[in-house]
Structure 1
Amino acid sequence: MKIALISGASGLVGKEILHHLFKSEDYDYVLSIGRRKLAIKQQKLVQIEGDMAKIANWDWEEKVASQSLSGEYFSLIESLKEKTAEVHAFSSLGTTINQAGSKEKFFAIDHDLVIGFGKWAKTLGASKFLYVSASGADAKSSIFYSQTKGKTEEDLKTIGFEYVGLFRPSLLLGNRNEFRLGEQVASIVMKPLIWLKLFKNIRPIYDYQVAKAMVKTALAQKPNSVEIISSGEMQDLTK
């Protein structure tokens, strides 16, 4: 049995990751982890909701079993408990400093919740962790956003996954739920780079390209390693 865990499924890239996980014949179940359930129903999808800051204390088995009135998730629960499933974890969890309200709250979401999810996924037997970071991520950066992404990357490496994929997209294009003026302006200015096929690592990239590259990478045979996947490499993976 192959199981995908995903946090951040309601976001721009997260929705596309879900789409590609549902399409894939390789995954038997997709567990979406978040503070609230998505307005989606799909045969593979199992949703677990709760305070992600307290994920380490969740009774995930009870949360899943309560949705399994006829026992349809018995094999899923047993596979996770007995560590007989192949588990891949995907995180596209993230926000902006403006949305969070402060640097401290931003760090709590973009770092602490991601690391908490990663540690929890490891206890369920996840062997691979694939994370949507950002171009320019650097724990030593003077830019707080890039520094936070860099610290998150560094801390994910210490959890002990067999494989960690750090996906660093440039400006993301897609249908966001909220309006971001800076990104709208930047996308208008930089979109011609896509048409002209110039500067792969700095030109904008579509949400579905990031998601498709992540799922494709997760399903590939990867040695024990940490891999940084640039925006240009994601585009190459989705040709």
Structure 2
Amino acid sequence: MKKIAFLAGTSGLIGMQLLHQLIQDPSYDTVISVGRRKLALKHNKLVQLEGNFKEIKNWDIESKLREDDLGGIFFPLIEAIKSKSVEMHAFCSLGTTIGQAGSKDKFYEIDHDYVLNFAWWTKEMGVSRFLYVSAMGADPQSSVFYNKVKGEVEEDLKVIPFEYLGLFEPSLLLGNRKDFRFGEEVAKIITKPLVWLKIAKKYRPIFDRQVAKAMIYHANQVKSIKVEVISSKQMQNFEA
């Protein structure tokens, strides 16, 4: 067995791109998607775990995998995880908006607590590298609530002793969202010329697939640092 990828936020814009790219990547044998519900998608590399992120730190991975294990096909996977004999990476693109969440408290629970719960759970299983989708402007001291929460998540993730923590800070995301976000759509119209003209790399919108490519790339590079912030400008270098 080569590598295992754990993925949270799979149904979202970047999460879906990560899923497709990880499945196509020959260096990963298995992609374990963790979510509140299972996706209507099947692939021989994809394993889906369903449950509440509030309780994920108490999940027993062997029990969760055996729930849908017909004929013991997950036995090698279970043994590899239990013995920590395989390299494991975790990719997290969990996130919502205050409008979708319904309140600031619920937004904080999803964007902060659920991310940290997922991170600690994967660390306990032996995940060595954690790649997180944050946001441009993330700052725990920010007066903007969204940026403040993202900044707090970044700081709290640094406490978890991963061998490598990659913090990805994209600008406005381009892609096909399932949900309509009026503010984002207006911003896209205003800033789309920056993409066409290939200027202002730091601020111009970035495609979901570019962020996913950057995350997988950095997950598999030899690193001499434990924590790295990857800016939207850096991610723009990946082919759209």
Pairwise TM-score range, normalised by the shorter structure = over 0.9
Partner residue in 2 for 1:176 = 177
Partner residue in 2 for 1:24 = 25
* Counterpart contact for 1:37–1:49, Cα < 8 Å: yes
Q: TM-score, normalised by structure 1?
A: 0.98
Structure 2 portions without partners, runs of 5+: none
Report the alpha carbon displacement of residue 85 of structure 1 after superposing the two structures with TM: 1.1
Partner of 1:184, secondary structure, is helix
Partner residue in 2 for 1:76 = 77
1:94-124 deviation digits (Å, cap 9, x = unpaired)? 0001111111100000000000000000011
* Counterpart contact for 1:213–1:238, Cα < 8 Å: no
Partner residue in 2 for 1:155 = 156
**Distance in 2 of aligned mates of 1:67 and 1:201:** 45
Residue 128 of structure 1 pairs with residue 110 of structure 2: no
1:21-46 deviation digits (Å, cap 9, x = unpaired)? 00100001000011111111011000
Partner residue in 2 for 1:217 = 218
**Distance in 1 of aligned mates of 2:202 and 2:95:** 21
- Cα RMSD of the aligned pairs, angstroms, is 1.0
Report the alpha carbon displacement of residue 238 of structure 1 after superposing the two structures with TM: 3.6
Superposition pairs for residues 1-239 of structure 1, below 5 Å? Answer: 1-238=2-239
Runs of 4 or more consecutive aligned structure 1 residues displaced over 3 Å after TM superposition: none
**Distance in 2 of aligned mates of 1:88 and 1:61:** 18
Report the alpha carbon displacement of residue 175 of structure 1 after superposing the two structures with TM: 0.4
Structure 1 portions without partners, runs of 5+: none
AA partner of residue 137 (structure 2): G
**Distance in 2 of aligned mates of 1:181 and 1:31:** 32
Partner of 2:32, secondary structure, is strand
Q: Percent identity?
A: 57
Report the alpha carbon displacement of residue 232 of structure 1 after superposing the two structures with TM: 1.1
**Distance in 1 of aligned mates of 2:238 and 2:82:** 34
**Distance in 1 of aligned mates of 2:85 and 2:162:** 16
Q: TM-score, normalised by structure 2?
A: 0.97
Report the alpha carbon displacement of residue 230 of structure 1 after superposing the two structures with TM: 0.5
**Distance in 2 of aligned mates of 1:214 and 1:162:** 15
**Distance in 2 of aligned mates of 1:8 and 1:189:** 28
